[in-house]
Amino acid sequence: MSNDKYAPKPEHKFTFGLWTVGNRGADPFGTQVRAKLSSVEIVEMLAEVGAYGVNFHDNDLVPIDSTAAEQDAIVRDFKKACDDNNIKVPMATVNLFYEPIFRDGAFTANDTRVRAYAVQKTMRAMDLGAEFDAETFVLWGGREGVETDACRKTTDAIKRFREALDYLCEYSKSQNYGYKFALEAKPNEPRADIYFPTTGAYLAFIETLENKEMVGVNPEVAHEQMPGLNMSHAVAQAWEAGKLFHIDLNDQVPGRYDQDLRFASVSPKQSFWLVKFLEDVGYQGMRHFDAHAYRTEDYDGVKDFARGCMKTYLILKDKAERWNKHEEIGSILAEIEGANKDNHVGSFTQDGAASLLSRQFDRAEIASKGLKYERLDQLTMDILFGVD
Ligand code: GLT
Ligand code: MN
Ligand code: MN
């Protein structure tokens, strides 16, 4: 079949959360439209569509009021399902946003009991993930924010968040879990304003941690695009800092509520640059789809959604290879490279600075020549449209 090259394989590292394909279509204005699937059924579905792994929040797998015996049974059944279906658990996370106790935040809440409970809940979620050999632990602080800044000093929130992270890193070390923490930013929703609204904000914060080498980021397409930012730029900055520990792929119209749409279904061109970046640099981590099917769908539609995420990724990967090999694109890139070659200022030296200060620049001449970016972009479009 001509489409076989777009079939997902384990080496593609495609993963989904229990909460993504298990999403039942509820929204703030309407109730669930799909029946609840068990975690085991979700694993079977992921195996059927060709995913590599499954991720979960503590309470996606183990309901919050479960007894120890219930938890043991759930873990046993889920482990068996993962083994039987050859599905891995590369990432675990903790739900610090659903329960009323987190209405004022979790690690940043004003009540010390809430903060202590949030750390305890995270430690237990880390224990749970470790049972499945999860390597990455994602922290999305959905409730770490405000409706009114009257409630606390923002600097206190930052200090509290740091204290929690420092504690959790030490806990991971004490248990030999080997976790890498990946912090996931989002500017708003469900809070009016969430602290650390962008991936860049987290990258700066991480440098202030006691165990900063254990902590990186988990950028999400939708969360960068909600405020109109460029996801590829956020990812590139994280990568360049050695901090791209995980990634959440989906899609989003800028300026709207968090849509979590099928990967690349809204912005194929931006998604192309993202896939091209990940493939060009040799990102080895998981390609996690943090998205869900339209509310119009039944579970066949959910499979269409999941298959669509993976297929589109592979199509864009294929297009990126085509782009990299394209002759005319190559010659324009060579010209760009040519302009980048000579007379760079280099590192600062006294002599170099003196010579730079005395150098003459012919501004008109330098600015006179077209840069061919229009052509370059149209060639990109031709590839994306499949006419080249
Ligand atoms: C929630 C959120 C996602 C996060 C998940 C991890 S939970 O679905 O919208 O972006 O990645 O906590
Ligand atoms: Mn999202
Ligand atoms: Mn996410």
Surrounding ion ligand 2 within 5 Å at CB are: 222, 258, 260
Query: Do 351 and 278 belong together in one domain?
Result: no
Neighbours of 270 (CB within 10 A): 18
**Residue 57 appears among annotated catalytic residues:** yes
User: Ligand 3 centroid vs 290 CA: distance in angstroms?
Assistant: 5
Do 84 and 225 have their domain in common? yes
User: Last residue of a domain, which of 275, 304, 324?
Assistant: 324
Whether 120 and 173 share a structural domain: yes
> Would you give per-residue pLDDT tens digits along the chain (388 residues)?
446 899 999 999 999 999 999 999 999 999 999 999 999 999 999 999 999 999 999 999 999 999 999 999 999 999 999 999 999 999 999 999 999 999 999 999 999 999 999 999 999 999 999 999 999 999 999 999 999 999 999 999 999 999 999 999 999 999 999 999 999 999 999 999 999 999 999 999 999 999 999 999 999 999 999 999 999 999 999 999 999 999 999 999 999 999 999 999 999 999 999 999 999 999 999 999 999 999 999 999 999 999 999 999 999 999 999 999 999 999 999 999 888 887 678 899 999 999 999 999 999 999 999 999 999 999 999 999 999 9
For residue 388, give every residue at least 6 positions away whose Cβ sits within 8 Å of its Cβ, in sequence order, or none: 322, 326, 379, 382
For residue 142, the ligand 1 atom closest to its alpha carbon is 2
Sign of CA dihedral 146, 263, 229, 205: positive
CA–centroid distance, residue 97 to ligand 2 (Å): 13
Domain of 352, in residue numbers:
327-385
Q: Clarify whether residues 32 and 148 are in a common domain.
A: yes
Pull the structure tokens for residue 344: 């760079």
| Nearest residue by C-alpha to atom 10 in ligand 1 | 290
Pocket test for ligand 1, best of 184, 218, 257 (most atoms within 8 A of CB): 184
For residues 234 and 261, state if they share a domain.
yes
Rounded distance from Cα 319 to ligand 2 centre (Å) = 26
Choosing from 301, 324, 347, the residue where a domain stops is: 324
Q: Do 72 and 24 fall into the same domain?
A: yes
Q: Are residues 122 and 85 in contact, defined by beta-carbon separation less than 8 angstroms? A: no
Tell me how far apart the alpha carbons of residues 142 and 245 are, in angstroms, rounded to a whole number. 19
Whether 60 is a known active-site residue: answer yes
Using most ligand atoms within 8 A of CB, pick from 55, 61, 93, 140 the residue to mutate for ligand 1.
140
Number of domains in the chain: 2
Average pLDDT of the chain?
Answer: 97
Pocket around ligand 1: residues whose beta carbon is below 6 Å from it? 19, 57, 93, 138, 140, 184, 220, 248, 290
Displacement of CA 376 from its chain's centroid (Å): 28
Do 223 and 355 sit in the same domain of this protein?
no
Residues 211 and 335 in one domain: no
Q: Which residues in 201-228 are b (16+ Cβ under 10 Å) and which e?
A: bbbebbeebeeeebbbbbbbbbbbbbee
Ligand nearest to the CA of 142: 1
Does 375 share its domain with 266?
A: no
SS3 state of residue 156: helix
Closest-lying ligand 1 atom to the alpha carbon of residue 140 = 12
| Active-site residue (options: 60, 258, 260, 290) | 60
Do 229 and 359 lie in one domain? The reply is: no
Domain finish residue from 324, 359, 376: 324
pLDDT in tens, 92-120: 999 999 999 999 999 999 999 999 999 99
Q: Which atom of ligand 1 is nearest to the CA of 93?
A: 12
Q: Are strands 136-140 and 145-146 parallel, antiparallel or unpaired?
A: unpaired
Instruction: Give the nearest ligand 1 atom to 223 CA.
Output: 10
**In terms of domains, do 299 and 337 share one?**
no
Q: Check 57, 246, 288, 326 and give the catalytic one.
A: 57
Residues 95 and 227 in one domain: yes
Query: What's the pLDDT score for residue 1?
Result: 45
> Please, which residues have CB less than 5 A from ligand 3, an ion?
220, 248, 290
Q: Can you name the residues that pair with 21 across neighbouring β-strands? A: none
Question: What's the CATH code of the domain at 99?
Answer: 3.20.20.150
CA of 189 relative to ligand 3 center, distance in Å: 12
113: enclosing H helix or E strand: helix 112-131
Lookup: tokens for 383:
């590839």
Ligand 1 atom having least distance to the Cα of 184: 11
In whole angstroms, give the CA distance from residue 256 to residue 265: 15
Of 15, 16, 18, 19, the residue with max ligand 1 atoms within 8 A of its CB, to mutate for a pocket test, comes to: 19
